[in-house]
Chain A
């Protein structure tokens, strides 16, 4: 089995191509940085890997390090360089580096369907001559050119033809040539090419130097002199000189291979979507529309229907069970435990489906990347990386992948801060709790839902500003976020994302929620002496009363609410099922009022996330002490925020 590596710039369509080639359903997003780790699949009996998107092979970011280490150490039999055909020159910069790695290289010119619209024509034959690589024009999203690509993959794997090496100016080439001829270069690790090693020596690439023994004194002196000569000649440092030389090669090839025709001037939506004053109101308006459609409109109809359905099913199954003399313990577990708990959660499936669908549409059309762009300055001003916005946006779906995606942030403090604040963004699992409370305490006031998002963002901002004020070093870093073009969302992507998220939710209902409902039912029906008792004397009530006084200032100091919060640690949806089993959703108003419901929602929104997310936080923070701090901060923050919200509600309403 031969190995193929897919590599290319962020957002050039690698993952879409990977999915098309392998028939898998890896997550695709219309923004850079979706692939944080490499993914593996099989195409025509060959192993194929989707590597993270990178602009260069310089070992500065984790993605660049991962991709570079993989290619150098694993030596794939073929590298497919996925090139965004509408950004040829920039993409060729990476190609000039890949060509030096001594592996067969195939150029896949993706997004060919957009070339005509962009007024660009590319001479593939000329590009192939100039790079020494086979070139195939494809559209991964439309599926065109894939058969030619598969044929070319087979040919390239058979012939194993190496690409041409990009040549720099004579002044640099003479140093490279001299270095290559030195015996010291024979010590380079297996799989590294002489020319590549010579360039890394000139660049003083730390990762490469650490893999080499100390050079002989004479050779070291020569290298240092070469660096000095180059710096004086070009009036720049060596790394910048090599970057410049590569861009010149890329520019030369791009100029020779593509013809640009004049484009008609079109209305640019970004003038509004990324403007200083219009962007945030537009974002709020769009999110409000999303919640109106999902929770307000769809939820308004379907929640009632599904509640009636499950109530109908419960009554009839209970009647039937009584008639058949089923033991109350068994019928109780089935009806008051499983059907009440799982049913309460499943009630929200239709509105969550619409919510996931709309969020996927926003993401795939390219709008979410604009949010990242407008939030970048705000993020950096409060000590977070511009890249922090990516986990925060992914966090609207689930905190676990969101926390994992913070790995792309280079600075440790910024990364850790991002991990701590990401769970403040409401994930899909918290939505049923909010929808439940909104349905019973704020009917028709769907605008409260987007305010929950704003509250989450406010918590991120406050935590960031506090961390910034306490940080003596105040790290800042630039974030290059390329704005992807707006596109008509691909139906396949939208469907896959929406289906995966919705099925994930349903599966949770059938697993964690089902188990917790059974446990909650048993604990709320029996005493510690295992006697069937009223819920108020049950084990659950006794345990809940131990912690419920803590929540008395927030207005929900009764044991049912406290126990629901505890089961929420397993999965946030469990809060709904627990409330349903212990109180019954229709009796909620006997326990909560509008102000306590708001405080409850606030506490759930901001307190520490579910166990899966806590585990992800532990892995990313790498220390129990830091994790403890994070969980205490989140829960403490949630407590204070809930107290303030309740006080404000009592004051103004």
Chain B
């Protein structure tokens, strides 16, 4: 019983860690990366576009 609880917890944690890592990486990218993350409203451009001042 204990083995089952421990192994289920470990597998759940592994899955959770992988999903968290994936979401964190995606969110980090959308903030930092190029224009794919730019919004269309004023001041919602990504860092690169704000700097280049060349978003349409």
Q: Which residues of A contact B (CB under 8 A)?
A: 36-38, 40, 62, 66, 321, 324-327, 330-331, 333-334, 338, 400-401, 404, 407, 507, 510-512, 514-515, 518, 612-613, 615-616, 618-620, 622
Contact = CB atoms under 8 A, between A and B. Distances in A.
A325 B19 contact: no
Interface string B28-56: 01000011111010000000110111111
5 contacts: A66-B53, A324-B7, A404-B34, A613-B36, A619-B56
A330 B8 contact: yes
A612 B36 contact: yes
Interface string B1-43: 0011001100110110011011101100100001111101000
A325 B9 CA distance: 11
Contact of B35 (A325, A327, A331, A404): A404
B15 A334 contact: yes
A38 B8 contact: no
Given A37-B48, A325-B8, A619-B56, 18 more contacts: A38-B51, A66-B52, A66-B54, A321-B11, A330-B15, A334-B11, A404-B34, A404-B35, A507-B25, A512-B26, A515-B19, A515-B23, A518-B19, A615-B35, A615-B38, A616-B35, A619-B40, A619-B55
A514 B38 contact: no
Contacts of A616: 35-36
A37 B4 CA distance: 56
A612 B30 CA distance: 10
A321 to B, nearest CB: 7
Given A325-B4, A400-B36, A620-B56, A511 B15 contact: no
B4 A324 contact: yes
A642 B48 CA distance: 38
Contacts of A612: 36
Contacts of A514: 18-19, 22
Interface of B: 3-4, 7-8, 11-12, 14-15, 18-19, 21-23, 25-26, 29, 34-38, 40, 48-49, 51-56
Given A400-B34, A619-B35, A620-B56, A321 B15 contact: no
A333 B13 CA distance: 12
Q: Is the interface of A mostly helix, strand, loop or mixed?
A: helix
Nearest to A37: B52
Contacts of B34: 400-401, 404
B39 to A, nearest CB: 9
Nearest to B48: A37
A118 B22 CA distance: 52
Contacts of A622: 56
Contact of B7 (A36, A40, A321, A401): A321
A331 B11 contact: yes
A24 B38 CA distance: 23
Contacts of A511: 22, 25-26, 29
Contact of B12 (A330, A338, A400): A330
Contacts of A404: 34-35
Contacts of B18: 338, 514
Nearest to A404: B35
B36 A326 contact: no
Contact of B11 (A330, A407, A510): A330
A29 to B, nearest CB: 16
Contacts of A37: 48-49, 51-52, 54
Contacts of A512: 22, 26
A38 B56 contact: no
B56 to A, nearest CB: 5
A220 to B, nearest CB: 33
B22 A515 contact: yes
With most chain B CB atoms within 10 A of its CB, the pick from A62, A327, A511 is A511
Please give me the 9 A-B residue pairs with the lowest Cβ-Cβ distance, nearest first. Answer: A37-B52, A324-B7, A325-B4, A612-B36, A511-B22, A330-B11, A622-B56, A514-B22, A511-B25
B35 to A, nearest CB: 6
A327 B55 CA distance: 49
A407 B22 contact: no
B35 A326 contact: no
Nearest to A398: B36
Contacts of A36: 54
Nearest to A512: B26
B36 A510 contact: no
Contact of B14 (A334, A510, A515): A334
Nearest to B12: A330
Give the one of B12, B29, B37 with max A CB within 10 A: B12
Contact of A327 (B8, B52, B56): B8
Nearest to A317: B11
A489 B34 CA distance: 27
Contacts of A62: 54
Given A38-B52, A324-B7, A325-B7, A400 B15 contact: no
A620 B56 CA distance: 6
